[in-house]
Copies of this chain bind each other. A is one copy, B any other.
Amino acid sequence: MSEKIETLLEALPYIKKFAGSIFVIKYGGAAMEEAHLKKEFAKDVALLKYVGINPVIVHGGGPMIGRLLKDLNIPTRFIDGLRVTDEKTLEVVEMVLAGLVNKEIVKNINDMGGRAIGLSGKDGRLLTAKQVENKEVGLVGDITGVNVDIIKDISKHGYIPVIAPIADGSDGKSYNINADTAAGNIAQALSAEKFILLTDVEGVIGSDGKLISMLRKREIEELVEQKIVTGGMIPKVSCCIDALKGGVQEAHIVDGRVPHAILLEVFTDSGIGTEIIGDE
């Protein structure tokens, strides 16, 4: 039994270090699909809050959106990884993200003893956006503003904000925002201590095929230039670099398929994914 206590005490330096910090967590992938991973994620988030950290969750919902579009016989296609979004599609996106996925996450966290409040970017004009450069994709937006007051207020009162990446356009329309980008933008606006990207890969893989545990911003930029980091990892890495440039202290790409991935990354020395920090 005393081994358990030792474990508890091993967490103490990390608890101390992060007391009062803001962690913006992009939640998605397997961790949001598989029942047991969902529960474990909710538990992790509740624990973070109880030990004095302020987690802010930003979630996607791709697969569920695809499913409902299919059920409704609405065809869908992607350009450069962005879903082409007309008004009908956006309505589905919003229903799934803000109505279904968001509230399920909220409920899971509440069931684990946390106190979560779900918000879409429309609530209190939390997120404002303009259309992305490529107009062909339709109602897909780039974030132009984050109303951090609401997030801070909710966090200060003991709640965990859970955010669906729908934004208010200055043109009166609504926009679908890529969840990774939204999370990165929110982390910047909050000057978060950590920006954690939950994904379905192990992390950044080096030229030797092995996971890289820690990298400086400069190093990851080189890996991209050298085409060692490629494909779907590039936008994720970009989000991290942007967040670091914007004042976030540490970005993490973590494997959401591993149970309790967040706690493992936060409360152990080596972590399990890739940590990216600033250039000195």
Contacts and interface: CB of A to CB of B under 8 A. Distances in A.
A122 B107 contact: yes
* Interface secondary structure of A, over-half rule: helix
Contacts of A124: 110, 115-117, 159
B52 A50 contact: yes
A260 B110 contact: no
Interface in A75-109: 91, 94-100, 102-103, 106-107
A226 interface: no
Given A4-B10, A8-B47, A116 B123 contact: yes
A96 B92 CA distance: 9
A1 interface: yes
Contact of A99 (B4, B94, B106, B263): B94
A43 interface: yes
A47 B12 contact: yes
A117 B116 contact: no
Given A122-B106, A260-B2, A46 B12 contact: yes
A211 B141 CA distance: 48
A106 B120 CA distance: 10
A54 to B, nearest CB: 13
**Number of copies of this chain in the oligomer?**
6
A197 interface: no
A166 B103 contact: yes
B43 A12 contact: yes
A8 B5 contact: no
B116 A103 contact: no
A150 B94 contact: no
Nearest to A72: B71
Contact of A259 (B2, B15, B19): B2
B263 A8 contact: yes
A159 B122 CA distance: 13
Interface string A184-197: 00000000000000
29 contacts: A2-B259, A3-B7, A4-B267, A4-B268, A5-B259, A5-B263, A8-B11, A12-B43, A12-B46, A12-B113, A15-B47, A15-B50, A19-B50, A50-B51, A52-B52, A95-B96, A98-B98, A98-B102, A103-B123, A110-B122, A110-B124, A110-B168, A111-B172, A115-B124, A117-B119, A117-B123, A117-B124, A118-B123, A153-B153
Closest 6 CB pairs of A and B: A99-B99, A95-B99, A95-B95, A7-B7, A98-B99, A5-B260
